[in-house]
Chains A and B, each alone.
Chain A
Amino acid sequence: DIQMTQSPSTLSASVGDRVAITCRASQSINGWLAWYQQKPGKAPKLLIYKVSALASGVPSRFSGSGSETEFTLTISSLQPDDFATYYCQEYNSDSQVTFGQGTKVEIK
């Protein structure tokens, strides 16, 4: 099974900061990597799929990059609405998916 490891677990930042979250896969996932945002008490929201494709309605300050086993979610200028927990997800296998453990972005 593929393991997904995110870092950091918690990130403290201020409005306007550029932030980056890393996700590492235990083996190559051929670019099948997505990112979700989750706020407390709410369902996750799809942000990015296929490493760098923005989901519908997602602001352009969100971007994704990476390949093979290392991937990054970048928020170019953190907004108040962006304080949340972020999860990466691999979907390389045709029979199951795996999420990372999450990265909480909190106010500094």
Chain B
Amino acid sequence: EVQLLESGGGLVHPGGSLRLSCAASEFMFNNYAMTWVRQGPGKGLEWVSTISESGERTSHADSVKGRFTISRDNPRNTLYLQMNGLRAEDTAIYYCAREQFAGNFGDTFDYWGQGILVSVSA
């Protein structure tokens, strides 16, 4: 069974940084684009970033562009989200998710991690 396990969340002050990780297992990680989606407290889903299978192509939401960077380490089967310049409005549960079909980029997501909480507060 495909598994995605996020880590690295926590409480950070405004302006601070965090790096989220997502450890993937039980599928060919380097065949699939990967995505981060977040959900603020009591709010809906918000797409954050997507990275291609090789890591050569990335895309970020306007709300995080210039502050967040998605990356991946294929030999380690791990996805990352480097978050700099954090703001209160970045407070959310962050999910990593796998592209449904190998070779697609930012389409539909068939496996999700359990989510990790990031809280930005003074």
Contact = CB atoms under 8 A, between A and B. Distances in A.
Interface of A: 1, 32, 34, 36, 38, 42-46, 49, 55-56, 87, 89, 91, 93-102
B114 A44 contact: no
Given A43-B95, A44-B45, A87-B45, A96 B106 contact: yes
21 contacts: A1-B62, A36-B45, A43-B95, A43-B114, A44-B109, A46-B100, A46-B108, A46-B109, A46-B110, A49-B107, A89-B108, A91-B108, A94-B105, A96-B59, A97-B47, A98-B47, A99-B44, A99-B46, A100-B44, A101-B44, A102-B45
Contacts of A42: 114
Q: Identify the interface centre among A43, A91, A101: most chain B CB within 10 Å of its CB.
A: A43
Interface in B20-62: 37, 44-47, 50, 59, 61-62
A4 B111 CA distance: 22
Interface of B: 37, 44-47, 50, 59, 61-62, 95, 97, 100, 105-110, 112-115
